Amino acid sequence: MPRTPTTPAPPAAPAWADPDHGAWLGLSARTGQLVAAVAGRTDVIAYAHPGAPAQVGSTAAACFVPALGEARFDTTRLMDPHVDPAMVDPMNHTDRGRVPVLIGAVCHEAGHAGHTRLRGQGPGDDRAVMRWATLLEEPRVEGKVLADRPGDRRYLRASFEHIIGTTGDQGMGRAAAAEAVCLILGRVHAGVLDICDATTVWDQVEGILGSDLLIELDALTAEACTLDDDDTDGLVDVATRFAAALNEHAPTGRGGDDGGDTADGNADDTSADDDGDGDGGGPATRLPCGAWTTGTYPGDTNSTPPAGDPSGPLGDAIRAAAAAVTANGKATAAPPTPPRADPAQAIAAQAAAAAASAALQVFPADRTRQKPVTGSLVTPTADEAAQVAAFTARMRRAQYRGVQRTKVRSQTPPGTARMPEMMRRETQIRRRETPTATPFRSVRRRAVPNPPLRVGVALDISPSMTDYLRPAAALTHACAVATTTLRGRVAAVAWNHRVFPMLPPGHHPNPTRMLLPEELNGTSSGCGQAIRVLDGALRFGAPGDVSVLVVVTDGHLNGDNNDVQRQIAALTARGTIILWVLTHPTGWTPTGAARVYLPDAEQFGAVASGALCQALADH
């Protein structure tokens, strides 16, 4: 029987699509932290969930209501529906890039909370003046936000299309063009937009208003953006002159009736209330973005809702500019794509972390917790002192070179281009500033004669080294004395199946006293761990220094030779010289290490120093 094809069921809506889902409560609390940071006040409650503004009668996607002390954000319009609100923290820079439109709206409304002082329109106030005052307040507030938080520019740009999409007069008249001067050209003066972002809008507005009037209105808008928060009289004065330039008294749209003469001088009555408590002495007035002035909140009944976008070429220019700015804002605000993981780098990082941890166990920061090797300080014999002196003298005459690497930043090639600096340079050029960004990085290498040494010595004190313990300790002492004489850095450990500290890194040995470990029981399985401890303590392969690892052993290891080989391979790959000093001719030597056999262990000075000087010269 043939199967009847079925239509696949639509994907289920995520659980957080429900406005009452608990995740929105957490997002609202975290959004409140960002509002407090931007506004500089902690008495504003934030609500971020689907339909939040509608709950107080607002039709906007975001609004700040001073009378209620609330900032509300409709996440249905401001967030991607696939983003889990429980995983978004607006205070986290990476999370902000996932919801840039929401963050831009938060910054804008929080800017009103921190900087808007206008009160609602009173009975004696000129409606035209009040309208232009609220329009001029929009870019002024964003300019104040950027003055305190320049990094929020990308988010204000990302939300620009949303904010502009909720404002504008219908048609191609002078009012629509003047509104574009306030909302778009004003944001150029505020620093949100670049000049190139508004070029097309400027051309369209100039065709409607004429060049002289456009320049006059643009100058008034720039003046409004420089006003202080408390200078509401100044803002009303600019709005009065703005309305007078348009020969308006009560224009169509958000202000009231058509036609009329120049403003009648009642503008002084629209200043902020003295106590700033939000009552304003009358009903609040709605700003273009959806926020409200101080005053009694009446819902969306005290002003005409936005009438939609301008039509014709001006509307097309505004929508094209808004789309381009928003796309650029989202791109610059997006979290950086994590680089593809390099397995080799991951392994190296794990090895470095293991080495640092091992070094802290043997060389703890608290010296009282250190467990030194069991032994005694003895005075070297005359022959041992002569061998130490010969070793040091040979090292003084050694000629070796290192490579000094310097990272250089440059405005011009050659070098590796870095995109953040490239974007900063492009922004500076568009703002007609002198470019100071340095987008190119290069590494300059210079040969340095006799650079500082980092020498680590690992002494085998397992039972098989009993006959060679004193000369091996003398060789360890000679390496330490010679290194510090050459102003190098040295550390030494002793090992059997465990690792014991002999000389902590950064300490200088006493030339007349050497540490002689006592015989210890155990096995010789701790070589790999000893190497790991010295690597973590001295950080072999550091730029500018020459690193040397000296292992003194009979080569009869009963541990994991593969671990030792891996340690040696990793160190040689970082440019570390490995000197493997053997007291027995048949002892094992790892690949990559320079083998040095001491036929007469008590005459170590010439043989060991010669091998070390040759390895340094060949480095």
Residue 48 has what pLDDT? 92
Q: Are residues 58 and 198 in the same domain?
A: yes
Q: Are residues 265 and 356 in the same domain?
A: no
Both 440 and 554 in one domain: the answer is no
Q: Do residues 533 and 563 both lie within one domain?
A: yes
Residues 469 and 594 in one domain: yes
Question: What are phi and psi for residue 261, nearest 5 degrees?
Answer: -95, -170
Asked if the structure places residue 339 within a domain, the reply is no
Verify that 199 and 146 share a domain, yes or no. Answer: yes
Residue 305 confidence (pLDDT) = 38
The conformation of residue 181, written as its DSSP 8-state character, comes to: I
The sign of the dihedral angle between the CA atoms of 269, 274, 276, 277 is negative
Into how many domains does the chain fold?
3
Beginning with the edge strand found earlier in the chain, give each strand of the sheet holding 416-417 in spatial order: 401-410, 440-449, 416-417
Residue 344: inside a domain: no
Give the per-residue pLDDT at 105: 93
Together in a domain, 221 and 141: yes
Does 606 fall in a domain?
Answer: yes
Same domain, 316 and 420: no
Q: What is the pLDDT of residues 334-376, one digit of tens each?
A: 776 666 656 777 777 888 888 888 888 888 877 666 677 677 8
Q: Do 431 and 523 sit in the same domain of this protein? A: no
Same domain for 393 and 506? yes
In degrees to the nearest 10, what's the CA dihedral of 601, 605, 611, 614?
Answer: -170
Residue 119 falls inside a structural domain = yes
pLDDT of residue 401: 65
Tokens of 99: 């919801």
CATH number at residue 382: 3.40.50.410
Query: Is the same domain home to 137 and 186?
Result: yes
Closest listed residue to residue 44, CA positions, set 32, 53, 56, 54: 32
Q: Could you list the residue range(s) of the whole structural domain that residue 427 is in?
A: 405-447
Under 8 Å between Cβ of 580 and 596? yes
Alpha carbons 433 and 427: distance in angstroms, whole number: 9
Report, as ranges of residue numbers, the positions in the chain whose pLDDT lies below 50: 1, 166-170, 250-281, 301-309
Residue 342 contacts by C-beta under 8 Å, 6 or more apart in sequence?
none
Based on the fold, state whether residues 46 and 124 are members of the same structural domain.
yes
The verdict on residue 4 lying in a domain is no
